[in-house]
Amino acid sequence: MAMPISIENAEHYNWGDNCDGWHLVKSAALSVIQERVPPGCCEQLHKHEFAEQFFFVLNGQASLIVEAETHILNPQQGLHVPAGVVHQLCNYGEDDLVFIVTSTPPSHGDRVNQS
């Protein structure tokens, strides 16, 4: 039987510099993750060979760099990043950044870091 999912009962992991992730959906075809990024933290510049992603901000402000162009995302705003496109998400704000990232197919094992 299906059960409602939240960060209270989802699989949790840590990444980067004190960042959190919770797998809300983790299937062969779809990944939906809620993540928390503290102020001043960034992920490494990277791309995904096959996965396309949609980032949707719940709290805070995201600076999402896509192909060297910076997009500022406020709560209730999102941005689609196609497969193969170099991107980086940063939190330059004063509050925790909380967002949902949806990937299809799942992006784990599909990441290529850029220098």
State whether the Cα torsion 81-108-25-41 is positive or negative. negative
pLDDT per residue rounded down to tens, the chain (115 residues) = 788 999 999 999 999 889 999 999 999 999 999 999 999 999 999 999 999 999 999 999 999 999 999 999 999 999 999 999 999 999 999 999 999 999 999 998 899 999 7
CA 12 and chain centroid, separation:
14
Asked whether the beta carbons of 83 and 48 are under 8 A apart, the reply is: yes
Angle (CA) 8 89 16, round 5°: 60
pTM of the model: 0.94
